[in-house]
Amino acid sequence: DGGITQSPKYLFRKEGQNVTLSCEQNLNHDAMYWYRQDPGQGLRLIYYSQIVNDFQKGDIAEGYSVSREKKESFPLTVTSAQKNPTAFYLCASRQGGAEAFFGQGTRLTVV
Amino acid sequence: GEDVEQSLFLSVREGDSSVINCTYTDSSSTYLYWYKQEPGAGLQLLTYIFSNMDMKQDQRLTVLLNKKDKHLSLRIADTQTGDSAIYFCAENSGYNKLIFGAGTRLAVHP
């Protein structure tokens, strides 16, 4: 089935560690997005990519990094520079201005 | 910069209509969207409207767009308990950025 898959569903990080969240889509979409969701603040854009090997910072890119080496994959690394990483992370993909398809999310907790 | 604003909570009685409002700032947005989020899950598209339209109806859903005031609304007729969720307004901004509001939590009570 076509879709967008995020893994893992739950992730725990120790202080000072980098962690990478996976996002894979088989919808042949050019654009992919990463959002962070905190209670009462909705979705805030971290990074987005319109095409392979190209990406742009969103509104809250500090402490995060991404890569887009393949069309179907857009991993997000939460670095130790991100001081408050505990949140729900959502990945999305879409083609042009059409509907964005979302993954089921990864809940990251710092322990 | 781009910004989308929504009220955070709405409570309605089952069977009544719900109206969720949204304002946006980017007048060049070509599409405006309404998404629904169930607890602990991703977002699903409910409906969208092109910026050259004033209204769109899809079964129980009616979207109204006032482009002059940059105001978007979603009306859900005959609201059911299964409609309880968070509803997000989103705009398609420059360079294909997709900007979301904070979400409106809809609670439906008997």
Q: Which residue of A44, A94, A103 is in closest CB contact with B42?
A: A103
User: Is the pLDDT confidence value at A1 over 80?
Assistant: no
- CA A54 → CA A40, A47, B15, B41, distances in Å? 31, 11, 48, 28
Q: What is the pLDDT of residues B8-33, one digit of tens each?
A: 899 999 999 999 999 998 877 788 99
Residues facing residue A56 across a β-bridge: A48
Whether the Cβ atoms of residue A40 and residue B102 lie closer than 8 Å to each other:
yes
pLDDT value at residue B1: 59
Residues 6 or more apart whose CB falls under 8 angstroms from that of B19 comprise B10, B73, B74, B75, B76
pLDDT value at residue B2: 67
pLDDT value at residue A15: 86
Chain mean pLDDT for chain B: 91
Output B94 or A13, whichever has higher pLDDT.
A13
User: Is the pLDDT confidence value at A83 over 70?
Assistant: yes
Q: What is the mean pLDDT of residues B61-81?
A: 96
Contacts of B100 in chain A (CB under 8 A): 35, 42-45
Instruction: Give the chain A residue whose CA is nearest to the CA of B8.
Output: A40
Phi, psi of A83 (to 5 degrees): -80, -20
Contacts of A44 in chain B (CB under 8 A): 100
Chain mean pLDDT for chain A: 92
pLDDT value at residue B42: 84
Within 10 angstroms of residue A3's Cβ, the number of other Cβ atoms is 13
- CA B25 → CA A19, B62, B99, distances in Å? 35, 22, 10
Model confidence at B51, in pLDDT bands (50, 70, 90)?
confident
Instruction: Give the chain A residue whose CA is nearest to the CA of B39.
Output: A104
Helix (H) or strand (E) holding A110: strand A106-110
Output B21 or A97, whichever has higher pLDDT.
B21
Q: State the amino acid at position A108 in one-letter form.
A: L
Max CA separation in chain B (angstroms): 44
pLDDT value at residue B92: 85
Q: Which residue of A42, A44, A105 is in closest CB contact with B42?
A: A105
Q: What is the pLDDT of residues A22-75, one digit of tens each?
A: 999 999 999 999 999 997 678 899 999 999 999 999 999 999 999 999 999 999
Pairing mode of beta strands B9-13, B104-109: parallel
Instruction: Give the chain A residue whose CA is nearest to the CA of B41.
Output: A104
Query: Over the Cα atoms of chain B, what is R_g?
Result: 13
pLDDT value at residue B95: 66
